[in-house]
């Protein structure tokens, strides 16, 4: 079974992903893939440098994320150019990793995709687990974790789809408002019900 794991910022999705790894499930992590596809020497990085100029590269050949971020943050047209380069590369590599796990004999693969619904990638997976959290808990965790003001934290939260929308698209929801033991218990129940563990 291909399981999609998603949530919102500061919902605790990474904690649940770690639990799934500990249960022996292989994970394809979209955030790690997004970094890997722009490593020096990759076709993706070459295309980005071609589109945005060599100035977006550091002296060691790595991507200067800060400089690139400054460019695309203020110019939606340039952000679209970047997304048009990055998204196909990320998707291709995620599917390659997923297929490699299946070919290696794994029965189940987890695809950890933070923006699963926003990117409309539901077709990549067979079942979806959403890690959900109340807005109060999410706000508190985000402010503490990223050292943000309330306004900045709310702006980040509101830039994503509301939790209620994600929950509607889920096959199972883990409510991560309490302690870690409670979260793990919910995860084990879901995976056991699906005959994954």
Task: Clarify whether residues 84 and 155 are in a common domain.
Answer: no
14 annotated ligand-binding residue: yes
164 annotated ligand-binding residue: no
Return d(Cα 143, Cα 60) in angstroms, integer. Answer: 34
| Number of domains observed in the structure of the chain | 2
Q: Is 14 left (phi over 0), alpha (psi -120 to 50) or beta?
A: alpha
44 annotated ligand-binding residue: no
Model pLDDT, residue 78? 93
Model pLDDT, residue 159? 84
Model pLDDT, residue 101? 98
Which range marks the domain in which residue 55 is found?
31-93
Per-residue pLDDT in tens (0 to 9) along the chain, 197 residues: 999 999 999 999 999 999 999 999 999 999 999 999 999 999 999 999 999 999 999 999 999 999 998 888 888 899 999 999 999 999 999 999 999 999 999 999 999 999 999 999 999 999 999 999 999 999 999 999 999 999 999 988 988 899 999 999 999 999 999 999 999 999 999 999 999 99
Task: Say what the pTM is.
Answer: 0.90
* Torsion angles phi and psi, residue 19, rounded to 5: -60, -40
Model pLDDT, residue 165? 95
Task: Clarify whether residues 188 and 138 are in a common domain.
Answer: yes
Task: Clarify whether residues 131 and 175 are in a common domain.
Answer: yes
53 annotated ligand-binding residue: no
15 annotated ligand-binding residue: yes
Return d(Cα 14, Cα 9) in angstroms, integer. Answer: 10
For position 13, which CATH number holds? 3.40.50.300
Alpha-carbon distances, residue 76 vs 35, 43, 80, 87 (angstroms): 21, 23, 6, 16
78 annotated ligand-binding residue: no
**Tokens of residue 161, six digits:** 């789809």
Q: Is 110 inside a domain boundary?
A: yes
């Amino acid at each position: 079974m291909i399981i999609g794991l998603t949530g919102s910022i500061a919902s605790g999705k990474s904690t649940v992903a770690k639990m799934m790894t500990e249960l022996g499930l292989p994970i394809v992590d979209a955030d790690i893939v997004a970094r890997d596809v722009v490593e020096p020497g990759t076709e993706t990085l070459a295309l980005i440098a071609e589109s945005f100029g060599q100035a977006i590269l550091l002296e060691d050949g790595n991507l200067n994320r800060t400089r690139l971020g400054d460019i695309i943050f203020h110019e939606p047209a340039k952000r679209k150019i970047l997304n048009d380069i990055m998204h196909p590369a990320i998707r291709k590599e995620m599917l390659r990793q997923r297929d490699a796990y299946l070919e290696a004999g794994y029965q189940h693969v987890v695809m950890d995709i933070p923006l699963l619904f926003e990117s409309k990638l539901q077709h990549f997976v067979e079942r979806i687990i959403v890690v959900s959290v109340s807005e109060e808990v999410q706000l508190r965790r985000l402010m503490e974790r990223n050292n943000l003001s309330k306004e900045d934290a709310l702006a980040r939260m509101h830039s994503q789809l509301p939790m209620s929308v994600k929950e509607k698209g889920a096959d199972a929801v883990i409510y991560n408002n309490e302690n870690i033991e409670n979260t793990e218990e919910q995860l084990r129940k879901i995976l056991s019900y699906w005959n994954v563990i």
